[in-house]
Amino acid sequence: MKIKIISLLILLQIAKSQVVLSFKNSCECTQIAVDTECNLLYPYCNWQVNEQNVGSCETTNCYNLDSSADCVLLRNCIWNGKQCLSTYSDVQCNQLEGEKDLTCQQQNVSCYGITGQCLSISELPSCKTYQSQIECTIGQEGKCSWSTTTNQCGFYVTCEQIPLNICNTYRPYETNYSQGQYCHINNSGQCVQMTCSDITSQINCTFVQTVFNQDQFYLCQWNSLSKTCELAPSTSNLTEKNCFSDTIGTYHWIAENKYAVQGICFPCSLRIIKQSELCLCEQLVSQLDCIYAKTCTWQQNKCITSQCSQFNEQQSLCAQSPACMYIFGKGCIPFTKCSDIRGNNQFQCIAQSLQCPSSNGQYCTSLPIDSSIFCQQQGNAYNCSNVLIGNGKCYWNSQKNECQYSSSCYSFNMQDCQKLKHACYYSGSYCYPIYCSYFSTASDCTFYFDYYSGSYKYCYWNYQYGYCDDQKPYELDFQSCYTSTQGKYRWSSQDSKIGACTQCAAIIVPNKRNWCSCDQLIYQGDCATAYDSCLWNPEKSQCVPLDCSMLTTRNLCVQNYNCHWIQYQNVMQCLPFTSCDKLPGSNSYMCMLYSQRCTQTDGKYCKELSYTDIKQKCSSIADYTNCYLTVASDGVCRWNTQTQTCYALSECSQITEMSFCGINNYACYWNFQTNTCTSLTCSMVTTSSECTYFDQYINFGFQIQMCLWNTTCQNATSTNLTSSNCFTNTAKTYRWSKNNQTDGSCQSCSQSTIFTLGFIILISLTQ
Ligand SMILES: *[C@@H]1O[C@H](CO)[C@@H](O)[C@H](O)[C@H]1NC(C)=O
Ligand SMILES: *[C@@H]1O[C@H](CO)[C@@H](O)[C@H](O)[C@H]1NC(C)=O
Ligand SMILES: *[C@@H]1O[C@H](CO)[C@@H](O)[C@H](O)[C@H]1NC(C)=O
Ligand SMILES: *[C@@H]1O[C@H](CO)[C@@H](O)[C@H](O)[C@H]1NC(C)=O
Ligand SMILES: *[C@@H]1O[C@H](CO)[C@@H](O)[C@H](O)[C@H]1NC(C)=O
Ligand SMILES: *[C@@H]1O[C@H](CO)[C@@H](O)[C@H](O)[C@H]1NC(C)=O
Ligand SMILES: *[C@@H]1O[C@H](CO)[C@@H](O)[C@H](O)[C@H]1NC(C)=O
Ligand SMILES: *[C@@H]1O[C@H](CO)[C@@H](O)[C@H](O)[C@H]1NC(C)=O
Ligand SMILES: *[C@@H]1O[C@H](CO)[C@@H](O)[C@H](O)[C@H]1NC(C)=O
Ligand SMILES: CC(=O)N[C@H]1CO[C@H](CO)[C@@H](O)[C@@H]1O
């Protein structure tokens, strides 16, 4: 029973000490409120004034563009020599049918050659194959350069390769936001990348472009004391005047009202993601991860949540820290409750605390429960495009003149779809969700946003086979584990050589309840639901346990009571469980990577958890890091900072942090009104799919309360359940008694003599 709406939501800010700008994050036309900013986005957007004299920034229609140069800049437009046409599906370069005297690029900027034989860049020959200086212009590598010393055509990938005589003037490509110079000769006489500090005037101190990446800019800022230009660590110095223009149109200014100076320079592409997925400071084991985590402080060999007063000068960090809130005039103070923060729109609220990303018109509130109603309440295209919700998206339906909600890409038309970069793509006549393998080049292969789950997904380029694959965080190393997962995974030890990249939100509550064993699952539908441990044998008409070797990922393997994930013949694989004892591991996280039965350690090797061994209680753990979220024989452990002791959690109400309340999503939920972690009941669940059961205890939930959806979510008993929900709504402790959907009853499995110790992963793992 996972209640989506109560999980804490947060915005993902760029967490590094530099601001990387990319056109992929450009503002949408309708996010812009001012004509001067809208004009900067011409021809993509244009300012329109209606009969009531109200202006708005609109997406340009191909038919309204009368020059080839403007037309070809728009992704879905093609110039045919006379007019700009809208294409409903992609026209390949070799299909272009323009007037004879048009070059390919005059019809579509991404096509080269002469009409009739237009080629896309990947179809061009390599620069190296050109024999003369005249041919040496563009090849499959991009811009080609002729070397007068070797009389050969080649290409450059770094400034260092560029001959000094052309260093200052070399342009790998031109963009609208070109910083003028890409490379320059430094004081040692070498040709190097232009950086912020090479810029000498305040007016030009905006951003620098990375030489060989057309879509990567670094924000600079002017230091008025030293009169130098430096790399900007954040966007907090940007003002109403330069917020939009200095960020190549990817941030916009949100003020309290038209006349207020207080405001914030806000990324247009920001989305709200679930904070419950992010690591808490206390979960970070390695010092490096703690340093990367901007709201944490490394102190006495442990990582702790920073004091709010440290963020008085850094509003965006203050707003990101779950423990703090930023109040205009007061600075950064400990978080109390949303209704203590004034704000009459979402942006004012987010600027003060990401935990309160909405407003009732006067004070900030948590995010509205129902996104579709929230979207509908947005009365104009500007408000509709700027509203932030957790998953899904609000979009303006100009035919119906209303703001609508969609949870996936499929409902967007071509124009909207094409603007949802890194989330959706348009093909044929449909809008589809993006996934890693959609990206066809290493430079595009970065991340995408999944509207359905409301989360970012990361990709990596597989150089061996040349394709874009889903990132496998557990393969990340000490250096990149935390940063590459944007703070969702952490390195499991203080030592860079020993350890693994492990997920913070995968908090496991061991469960002593009597799960049904595979052979007890008589109904084929129940066996199918237990797909991660059982398999239906059609010949025998029986449900049989899965062979460990069939579990090919670590997560499926470690959850299975009978298997463990270990190295055998130099490969990590899933083998029948034998013992935890010989497996090296100095803390609980490392040991659980073999099997979730191995939660204990003697400091060097792992040990199996025994519920009866009193030596394995939380109170016997003396060390802070090992205590934190270790699963011991009496439950999930926590550190008491007052008494400096380790204890087992038993009640939801013992939890005071919002993100930690998600430790058992089937037992506790965060109440935004009272700001407390509270026990769940069936009646709190608002959707039928989440109406299953709840755990009556936070830790070793022997007891559950079954729920059932009957217009609302209500308490139920096994007699209320049917073949379709008997197994699921009883936490796998009851099964349907006959292999017939309509005949039979919902019966307990616990009569069985086999005692199964099961584990639940509360947050589904993706690796
Ligand atoms: C322009 O050409 C590129 C490269 O082949 C292609 O991906 C793109 O879809 C074309 N644009 C249009 C509007 O057809
Ligand atoms: C700013 O940069 C442009 C382009 O490189 C240059 O022409 C101009 O002189 C610079 N302005 C100042 C004040 O340095
Ligand atoms: C010039 O660039 C080279 C190569 O990056 C570097 O090693 C050298 O220190 C730089 N010189 C100065 C004075 O910055
Ligand atoms: C930029 O920000 C820093 C600290 O955030 C501050 O010290 C400095 O005065 C600011 N500069 C300007 C021009 O606002
Ligand atoms: C748009 O949002 C602003 C700020 O919240 C609000 O003042 C305005 O009334 C909204 N407009 C409409 C039409 O809802
Ligand atoms: C739903 O609840 C009503 C009374 O509240 C009850 O009569 C009915 O049988 C219930 N439906 C099911 C499917 O249990
Ligand atoms: C539902 O069950 C819980 C305990 O399992 C109980 O506390 C609660 O009062 C029950 N609610 C109703 C409406 O009967
Ligand atoms: C469960 O069954 C009882 C008795 O038939 C009925 O009163 C109750 O409304 C049912 N509960 C639900 C949630 O349908
Ligand atoms: C399931 O049970 C119903 C009712 O007893 C019976 O009519 C039907 O034939 C059974 N179906 C199968 C596939 O056995
Ligand atoms: C803001 C800006 O510089 N826009 C320019 C982008 O490029 C087109 C075509 O090269 C120009 O017409 C715009 O003025």
**CB-neighbour burial class of residue 761 (10 A; exposed 0-12, middle 13-18, buried 19+):** middle
End-to-end CA gap in the chain: 22
Q: How confident is the model at residue 766 (pLDDT cuts 50, 70, 90)?
A: very low
State the CB neighbour count (10 A cutoff) for residue 709: 18
For residue 357, pLDDT beyond 80: yes
Q: Is the model more confident about 513 or about 719?
A: 719
Distance CA 664, CA 762 (A): 7
For residue 671, pLDDT beyond 80: no
Q: What is the pLDDT of residue 320?
A: 80
For residue 638, pLDDT beyond 90: no
State the CB neighbour count (10 A cutoff) for residue 101: 9
- Could you say which ligand is closest to the alpha carbon of residue 201? 2
> What are the E-state strand segments in 38-148?
45-49, 55-59, 77-79, 84-86, 111-112, 119-120, 138-139, 142-143, 145-147
Q: Which atom of ligand 9 is nearest to 743's Cα?
A: 2
Ramachandran bin of 428, using left for φ above 0, alpha for ψ from -120 to 50, beta for the remaining angles: left
Mean pLDDT of 394-409: 88
Q: Is residue 665 within 8 Å of residue 638, measured between CB atoms? A: no
- Among 206-210, 598-602, 753-757, name the one with the lowest average pLDDT: 753-757
Mean pLDDT of 425-439: 88
Q: Is the model more confident about 609 or about 87?
A: 609
Ligand 9 neighbour 740 (Cβ under 6 A): yes
Mean pLDDT of 437-453: 81
Q: Taking CB atoms and a 6 Å cutoff, what residues make up the pocket around ligand 1?
A: 76, 78, 87, 90-93, 108, 110-111, 120
Q: Whose CA is nearest to atom 13 of ligand 9?
A: 740
Task: Identify which of 233, 232, 251, 229 has the alpha carbon closest to the alpha carbon of residue 242.
Answer: 251
Please give the backbone phi and psi of residue 266, each rounded to the nearest 5 degrees, phi first: -115, 130
Q: Is residue 687 within 8 Å of residue 372, measured between CB atoms? A: no
Q: What is the pLDDT of residue 682?
A: 92
3-state helix, strand, coil in the chain (%, to 5): 20, 25, 50
* The amino acid at 249: G
Task: Identify which of 48, 24, 25 has the alpha carbon closest to the alpha carbon of residue 35.
Answer: 48
Highest mean pLDDT among 1-5, 6-10, 143-147, 694-698: 143-147
Q: Is the model more confident about 189 or about 276?
A: 189
Q: Is residue 594 within 8 Å of residue 566, measured between CB atoms? A: yes
Name the one residue in this structure whose structure tokens are 């950064």: 332
Q: Taking CB atoms and a 6 Å cutoff, what residues make up the pocket around ligand 5?
A: 344-345, 379-380, 383
Please give the backbone phi and psi of residue 549, each rounded to the nearest 5 degrees, phi first: -65, -15
Mutate to test the pocket of ligand 5, among 252, 256, 257, 345 (most ligand atoms within 8 A of CB): 345
- Do the bridges between strand 758-761 and strand 746-748 make them parallel or antiparallel, or are there none, so unpaired? unpaired
- Among 521-530, 577-586, 633-642, name the one with the lowest average pLDDT: 633-642
Mean pLDDT of 311-324: 82
What is the reported pTM? 0.64
Look at the alpha carbons of 339, 341, 342, 346 in this order and tell me if their dihedral is positive or negative. negative
Q: Is residue 493 within 8 Å of residue 590, measured between CB atoms? A: yes
What does the block give as tokens for 671?
A: 């109440």
Q: Is residue 527 within 8 Å of residue 521, measured between CB atoms? A: yes
Ligand 10 neighbour 69 (Cβ under 6 A): yes
- Among 27-41, 532-546, 562-576, 721-735, name the one with the lowest average pLDDT: 27-41
Rounded distance from Cα 179 to ligand 2 centre (Å): 9
For residue 589, pLDDT beyond 80: no
For residue 19, pLDDT beyond 70: yes
Give the C-alpha distances (Å, rounded to integers) separating 26 from 45, 251, 379, 405, 645.
Answer: 11, 8, 23, 21, 50
Rounded distance from Cα 681 to ligand 6 centre (Å): 19
Q: Is residue 712 within 8 Å of residue 683, measured between CB atoms? A: yes
Rounded distance from Cα 477 to ligand 3 centre (Å): 30
Note the pLDDT tens digit of each residue in 715-764: 999 999 999 999 999 988 999 999 999 999 999 998 643 333 333 222 22
Q: What is the pLDDT of residue 508?
A: 54
Cα dihedral: 25, 28, 29, 33 (round 10): -90
> What are the E-state strand segments in 370-500?
393-397, 402-406, 424-427, 430-433, 447-450, 455-462, 467-470, 489-491
Ligand 8 neighbour 708 (Cβ under 6 A): yes
Ligand 8 neighbour 722 (Cβ under 6 A): no
Peptide bond into 43 cis (omega under 30): yes
For residue 283, pLDDT beyond 80: yes
Q: What is the pLDDT of residue 474?
A: 73
Which residues does residue 509 pair with via DSSP β-bridges, in sequence order?
Answer: 760
For residue 13, pLDDT beyond 60: no
Look at the alpha carbons of 47, 50, 56, 62 in this order and tell me if their dihedral is positive or negative. negative
Output the DSSP codes for 261-323.
S-EEEEETT--EEEGGGSPPGGG--SHHHHHHSTTEEEETTEEEEPPGGGGTT-HHHHHH-TT
Q: What is the pLDDT of residue 389?
A: 84
Q: What is the pLDDT of residue 523?
A: 95
Rounded distance from Cα 199 to ligand 2 centre (Å): 9
Distance CA 684, CA 605 (A): 43
- Among 22-36, 352-366, 659-673, name the one with the lowest average pLDDT: 659-673
For residue 25, pLDDT beyond 50: yes
Rounded distance from Cα 258 to ligand 8 centre (Å): 56
Q: What is the pLDDT of residue 455?
A: 77
Mutate to test the pocket of ligand 8, among 720, 722, 745 (most ligand atoms within 8 A of CB): 720
- Do the bridges between strand 606-607 and strand 631-632 make them parallel or antiparallel, or are there none, so unpaired? unpaired
Rounded distance from Cα 741 to ligand 9 centre (Å): 8
Largest CA distance in the chain: 88
Note the pLDDT tens digit of each residue in 33-52: 888 888 888 888 889 988 88
Q: Whose CA is nearest to atom 3 of ligand 8?
A: 720
Q: How confident is the model at residue 3 (pLDDT cuts 50, 70, 90)?
A: very low
For residue 100, pLDDT beyond 90: no
For the chain, the domains span 506-761
Ramachandran bin of 349, using left for φ above 0, alpha for ψ from -120 to 50, beta for the remaining angles: alpha
Note the pLDDT tens digit of each residue in 602-617: 888 999 888 778 888 8
Q: Is the model more confident about 640 or about 736?
A: 736
Mean pLDDT of 120-134: 89
Q: Is residue 522 within 8 Å of residue 737, measured between CB atoms? A: yes
Mean pLDDT for the chain? 82
